[in-house]
Amino acid sequence: MLTLDGCRTRQKRLIEQLSKAGLDGAVITHREHVYYFTNFRCHYNHVAGVWIDTCGRVTLSGATPDIETVAADEIIAYPAQKFFTMPMEQAALCAEALSKAVPKNKRLGVDLEGPAAIARIAGPEALDLTKNILRLRRKKAPDEVAALKRSIAASESMYAFAKANIRPGLDELDFYASIRGAVIAADGCDPERLGNDFRSGAGSAAPRKRAMQAGELYVLDAGPSLDGYHADNCRTFAVDRQGTSVQHEACRRIGEALAYAESLIKPGLACREHFEKVKTLMSKAGHSGLCHHLGHGIGLQAHEAPQLNPEFDAFFEVGDVFTMEPGLYSKELNAGIRLEQNYYLGESGLEILTKFPLPLV
């Protein structure tokens, strides 16, 4: 979980922005933003809202928050269940409770990413703070990096299981279930999200009720979410635990591309320029490469800034946590190979957060 000190620091950063904008406070509506500022991550069947005033007082409305574990000065509970039945109007109940703390006739801000019923208590003239909060989220604090590392470790437990157990004849769907079980056993909890791609003989997509075949490659694009923060890594495994010389050479080329991409990264570098340089290198590998983005930021969402993508005007900044996922695809490779790493760009330089080996076997 996040730390209370980290949450209080994020509250202060938001309050600084509120004061500069001449606002008296902010209504926070989005589930992830409530968590980001208070350490209260409500159950997905419920909602929560927060009032933060510029004096630093924080009021949280949720189903079952514990004042000892959240960065809030007051809790106003709402009836999220009655005799064990959950009312359908969760957002309206939360809004009614939180409205008791929100002053009238003041200049307020609100993040409009969450339930509209909660956002409305800020009033029709409230300033939308969504972009401001997304900007704050860009620079990851130590407690956020720690949460991301935990999710990355979960993805590595998925790879360890796949490498040890993959073989021809295994059913993709059964294998997926076993991988999920390995994550639960390793971490002691069921992740909210597990990832993207679990299909053999294809570059991506969900698992099928189908036996994996010798000669195929299994692309395991893993994105477990623990403590609300998303990892996103990818490894590719030879189903027959051998692989062809062409496949191994392509894997080696992708590893070289990752090393080259890592060597270029520095604060202020344009992600579009970075993408084009890596694409030029990969074009020499003899297969279709970088037919998708090179990577993206990760955090409370699976895709965040910076976007390593020529379609976005993005730049690297200190505090970024992001992925790079070059791939090579062709019929000769039996669909394709993709390798993805997670990184933290800190004050002292680039840190590779993913430690699991890159080779196919």
**110 & 156 share domain:** no
What's the pLDDT at 164?
97
Residue 217 and residue 278 share a domain = yes
The answer as to whether 200 is a domain residue is yes
Structural domain that includes position 188: 142-352
Going by the DSSP 8-state scheme, the letter that residue 349 receives in this structure is: E
Are residues 43 and 188 both part of a single domain? no
pLDDT, residue 188, reads 87
Same domain, 132 and 17: yes
- Please report whether residue 359 resides in a domain: no
101 and 166 in a common domain: no
Q: How many whole angstroms separate alpha carbon 241 and alpha carbon 97?
A: 58
d(CA 150, CA 156): 10
Q: Are residues 292 and 206 in the same domain?
A: yes
Instruction: Please give the DSSP secondary-structure letter assigned to residue 103.
Output: P
Total number of domains constituting the chain: 2
Among residues 95, 120, 137, the one where a domain terminates is: 137
> pLDDT means per 10 residues in the chain (361 residues)?
96 97 97 97 93 97 91 95 92 97 96 96 96 97 97 96 97 96 90 91 90 95 94 97 95 96 98 96 86 96 96 97 96 92 97 97 90
Residue 279, in any domain of the structure: yes
Is the domain of 92 the same as that of 201? no
Residues 247 and 348 in one domain: yes
Q: What angle do CA 305, 266, 309 make, to 5 degrees?
A: 40
Q: Are residues 177 and 317 in the same domain?
A: yes
CATH number for the domain harbouring residue 48: 3.40.350.10
d(CA 8, CA 38): 8
CA distances from 359 to 197, 241, 330 (A): 18, 11, 18
